[in-house]
Amino acid sequence: MFHFEEEIDHVLRCPQCGEILGSGRVDKRFCSLACKNRWHNRQRLPNRDKEIQRVLRVLNRNREVLDKLLKLGLHCVDRPTLIHLGFNMNFFTSLQKSGRHQWIYTCLDIRYELTPTRIRNIAYLWEGAGSED
Ligand SMILES: [Zn+2]
């Protein structure tokens, strides 16, 4: 799981800065907490970037679906249709309560509401509030 340099003479070095760690501290992998954090952050970067790219792809896909519906003049479709078009309801960029049981979602520059059966009031944010369906 953790990789750290161990030389033939069992001298342990901090995997971040290379400083030799004191003997008798075999449980200690890093010379300091700062090095430990730096090393773990560096290891995490590729996964973090991959995850960010994945989330951005989902959001862009969601926006494409909403944009397509709006260009067809549709402000409301049922959930199965939405899912069929490739929309992922778990991803959005903001969520705002607008009534007792009503929430307004946004995906980048497009807002919408989700009910148990459908998506409605889809509208571009820059065009103001959507028309009732
Ligand atoms: Zn170090």
Average pLDDT across the chain, whole number: 86
Residue 59 has pLDDT above 90, yes or no: yes
Cβ-contact 25, 32 below 8 angstroms? no
Mean pLDDT across 19-45: 81
Mean pLDDT across 100-128: 92
Q: Please classify residue 4 by burial: count the beta carbons closer than 10 Å to its beta carbon, then call 0-12 exposed, 13-18 middle and 19+ buried.
A: middle
Domain borders along the chain are 60-127
pLDDT at position 12 is: 81
pLDDT at position 42 is: 85
Q: How far does the centroid of ligand 1 lie from the alpha carbon of residue 4, in Å?
A: 11
* pTM greater than 0.85 (yes/no): no
Q: How far does the centroid of ligand 1 lie from the alpha carbon of residue 6, in Å?
A: 14
Residue 35 pLDDT level (bands cut at 50, 70, 90): very high
Q: Which residue has the higher pLDDT, 45 or 103?
A: 103
Q: How far does the centroid of ligand 1 lie from the alpha carbon of residue 18, in Å?
A: 6
Q: How far does the centroid of ligand 1 lie from the alpha carbon of residue 59, in Å?
A: 39
pLDDT at position 52 is: 92
pLDDT at position 47 is: 83
Q: How far does the centroid of ligand 1 lie from the alpha carbon of residue 17, in Å?
A: 4
Q: How far does the centroid of ligand 1 lie from the alpha carbon of residue 36, in Å?
A: 7
Q: How far does the centroid of ligand 1 lie from the alpha carbon of residue 37, in Å?
A: 10
